[in-house]
Amino acid sequence: MKKLLFIILLLPLGVFAQVEEEYEIATQAPVEELSSEEAFKRSIPAHFKDGKPHYHRYNNLSGYIRNDSILIPLKYENIETRYSDFMICREPRKRYGAINKKGETVVPFEYNTLSQNAAGIVLGWKKEAGYGLMTSTGKILVPFEYKSGFFNADSVVVLYSPGKQLIVKTLDGKTLKVLMEADFEDISIETTGRRPIFAVKQQGRWGIMDYQKRLLLPCEYDKIQRILGQHVVAVKNGKMGVVNLNNTPEVPFEYETIHERLRNGLFPFGVTVSRGKQRWGLVDSTGHVVLPAGYDAVAQFYHCDLMKVSKDGKWGILDMTGKLRSPLQFSDISGWKHLSATVKKDPLGKPRIVHEDKYGIYFVHRYVENGKIGLWHLDKGEIIPPQYDYFAILDPGGPIEVTLNEKRALFNMKGKPLSGFEYDALGISAVHPAFVTAHTDGKRTLVSTSTGKQIQPEYYDDWYFNNIEDLNGYFVTKIGKFTALHAPDGRRLTPHKYSASMAPCGSLPEVEAVLQKGRKLVACAKIYGDTTIRFFAIDDTGAEYEYDKK
């Protein structure tokens, strides 16, 4: 016994010694050393080895390879990923130039920026000189002497400096057509964007000109603030107003501040009431004041023409006439999505009810910043107080899915609870809007949209609403491998014993002959045996009739 105890006491030491010995052997094993060439080859993806040139990046430098060979040395910080005879590239911390497929320099590496448009014209900038244009072979087309330059989306290049401007259209990789040469005091694209118009300055005043050198707006404005579609927000004699691109006045030049035009066509304008503070109102494109400047902020809801306004930290809903549609009482309010049912024809010309997302009737709101939200109706006011986390309006006629602490409940459209917060998820089918799919612990049950109660106190693994129209509203549920038939009102008519989903029955004279008076066949089902398949017709009470399928 003592000898056995001695062996047991020594056993851990033996184990540790063995582990230590294995560790020493492992640490003494030779480490595979790779040559730089071998390491490079291993960095090449296998699908690159197809005999074609491929852009490749290794050790933060780029070039081109073919199989295991280097076509263009991997020495560039940037190089175009399209292999061609004109590739703009840049060596680390140096200037830009261009090379061909052989790696030969076709444009010297002396440019701070370099780019090429679809026609093949190259725009470059030298810090010491300016912007200019050249061909892909380096031939100078426009001297590098302009302060700014850019490609427009319509093959137009704009080059400009104070007192000197040039606008050309690129016809091909080496031919330019002059659209305009001018000598304005200044030119700007900041407010117009990359459109075929730009702001020009003459005798200290600004206007708008197009590529044909036509003045759309005369040079009579202090500043062109911004262009929104056909609307130009500008400053004249120190006041802001709006004109269109035909120089027709829209909003008189009598405002301190005008913000961008809202989606609904109105312009917010601001009036200073104290140092650093403005009050906001709304004016339309005819100059009519829709809302006097009495609010801290005006903003449009994203998906509808209604707006929200705030005063003293409280928000309310405003319509396009300037009428408040809710009190100024919310700490925040947002437009909320609801469903709208529309009848549309399918590709076969059959009318279908289609549910589409709509906005402008329901809103979620907060009274205090507690993280909870409530539901507000534009005409009916508060439906549900701000005590919940999320809402989803499942159908135009209801119900509403309400979320609290990651559990869901059903409410009706009047805000009355129909169920408790007992479900993990809820969903509704457009083909059977009388039921809600309720999920709990991975199982599903059917809940009535009108009462919020289970149709039957049981859960299913799945159900099928396919063929529901052909089955005249009858549908199928599944538990494990077996299915059962349900009536249009949700009642289960049969046990879960059938082997597959169900379908409408065709003509079955032998079954129809034995049907009781007043009953009708609604579905056909199957039961698979080890070597056989049994066929059944099911009537509207759930009674089954076995028949031979020929």
Q: Is residue 98 one of the residues assigned to a domain?
A: no
Name the domain count of the chain.
2
Asked if residue 25 has pLDDT above 80, the reply is no
Contact 277, 294 (CB under 8 A): no
Asked if residue 23 has pLDDT above 70, the reply is no
CB neighbour class for 179 (10 Å; exposed up to 12, middle 13-18, buried from 19) = middle
pLDDT confidence of residue 68: 86
User: In terms of domains, do 452 and 335 share one?
Assistant: yes
Q: Is residue 407 one of the residues assigned to a domain?
A: yes
218-228 pLDDT, tens digit each: 999 999 998 88
User: In terms of domains, do 421 and 503 share one?
Assistant: no
CB neighbourhood size of 463 (10 A): 22
User: In terms of domains, do 346 and 413 share one?
Assistant: yes
Q: Mean of the per-residue pLDDT values for the chain?
A: 88
User: In terms of domains, do 434 and 494 share one?
Assistant: no
Q: Is residue 17 one of the residues assigned to a domain?
A: no
Q: Is residue 489 one of the residues assigned to a domain?
A: yes
pLDDT confidence of residue 506: 85
Asked if residue 393 has pLDDT above 70, the reply is yes
Q: Is residue 536 one of the residues assigned to a domain?
A: yes
Question: Of 459, 474, 496, which closes a domain?
Answer: 459
**Amino acid identity, position 351:** P
Span 526-539, average pLDDT: 93
For the entire predicted model, the pTM comes to 0.69
CB neighbour class for 371 (10 Å; exposed up to 12, middle 13-18, buried from 19) = exposed
User: In terms of domains, do 447 and 493 share one?
Assistant: no
Q: Is residue 3 one of the residues assigned to a domain?
A: no
Span 532-545, average pLDDT: 95
Nearest 10 degrees: Cα torsion 138, 139, 140, 144: 10
181-210 pLDDT, tens digit each: 989 998 887 788 778 888 999 999 999 988
**Per-residue confidence at 24, pLDDT binned at 50, 70, 90?**
very low
User: In terms of domains, do 455 and 486 share one?
Assistant: no
User: In terms of domains, do 373 and 445 share one?
Assistant: yes
Q: Is residue 443 one of the residues assigned to a domain?
A: yes
Asked if residue 15 has pLDDT above 70, the reply is no
Span 59-72, average pLDDT: 92
User: In terms of domains, do 437 and 528 share one?
Assistant: no
C-alpha dihedral sign at 492, 493, 498, 503: negative
User: In terms of domains, do 544 and 441 share one?
Assistant: no
Span 287-316, average pLDDT: 94
pLDDT over 70 for what percent of the chain? 93
User: In terms of domains, do 518 and 422 share one?
Assistant: no
pLDDT confidence of residue 32: 52
Asked if residue 340 has pLDDT above 90, the reply is no
User: In terms of domains, do 380 and 440 share one?
Assistant: yes
Q: Name the residue range of residue 436's domain.
A: 330-459
C-alpha dihedral sign at 182, 186, 191, 194: positive
User: In terms of domains, do 451 and 494 share one?
Assistant: no
Q: Is residue 490 one of the residues assigned to a domain?
A: yes
